[in-house]
Amino acid sequence: MKRSVWWLLIALFIGLGAGCTQTYEVTVDDLPETDPFYTSGYPIADVSDQIESIQQSIIRITSTARYRVYLIEDGINMTSAEADTINPAEFAMDQTTVEESSAGSAIVMGKTADRAMLLTCAHTVEFPERVFSFKAGPGIPENTYVRTIAVKQNHVNMALTDRTLAPYSLVQEDRIRDLALIQINLRDFEQIGEDLNPLKVPMGYSENLRSGSVIYVMGYPKGFETVTRGIVTQANRNDRADFLTDALYNRGISGGIIVASKDNFKTFDWVGMSNAGIATREFYLVPDEQQLDPDLSYQFYDGSIMAKEIASLDYGLTQAISTRSIREFLDQNRSVLRSLDRSYRLPQDN
């Protein structure tokens, strides 16, 4: 009797052990598609090859403008409309030169033997011809009388790959949608043409993103080739179907591509472009640099105190342009794109 009980206990432990160690293998093919909506679960399979393929169609761009800044004499009151037509040197009490620069990412849309066309954000490539600041103080109407006039002297745009660089030109822009088409002349810069790989990912519909949809963002923040992952936190946030994601934003990723999957990462769709982060603007009290002695590390200062505005990025939030806006912008510029051997096709609206 005792022996029978022992054998029964041994059999029971063996059965429990087998139940605890049994595993089930799940593959991507076993998971259902979520069409027309985009997947909200994280991938269980390796998607590195697909991500690296998409990255081949993203390059880094920079834009630098040099301005001559004129300080208008105190006794002269002129509006921006008047200041836009004058020679500011005739009314300036002082002048200096400053440089403004920006960096971003661009998507290779297509190329021929002569040229390549890329898509990016308008704010990364556009610098106005003139910039005004206005007088402020008691009894002075706000944003009315010009204090300084900055006149653009030159503007240099460069596209960069791992091997080389080349200038680009602005072809079309839409400041409302924050989109721009730029062009590289491949006749004079053949080497960069070898590095430009037109995008092969189909354009999807960002309207089908939902809260929790998983997205990947690729671009060149701080000049480094980067991929970051996040989830959609606010879908269809306006009438253009733009959306908000918790993917990390750093300066330079504007114009970077955003992709998502609706078949559990067997394939990806192009669902948007990153174009802005969330910033907090704060004011700090600083000394007047002209009253400081640059040769002294420590010094007593009793000069004027000035307020300086500093914008600090709130990391963890990225604003995105929807494919609806991208599709409309590209459709408006079909004549520009028609001669290109494009690797994408604009999807037909249902």
CA dist., res. 159 & res. 179, Å (int): 17
CA dist., res. 125 & res. 78, Å (int): 29
Question: Which parts of the chain sit beneath pLDDT 70?
Answer: 1-35, 277-285, 288-291, 293-298, 302, 304-316, 339-350
Say what the pLDDT of residue 10 is: 47
Say what the pLDDT of residue 30 is: 45
- Cβ neighbours of 190 (radius 10 Å): 12
Say what the pLDDT of residue 218 is: 95
Q: Which of 254, 261, 235 is nearest to 246 (CA)?
A: 235
Q: Any idea which residue has 């400053």 for tokens?
A: 98
State the Rg of the chain over Cα.
28
Say what the pLDDT of residue 43 is: 86
CA dist., res. 188 & res. 116, Å (int): 12
Say what the pLDDT of residue 313 is: 53
Say what the pLDDT of residue 24 is: 36
Provide the token pair at 270: 């192009």
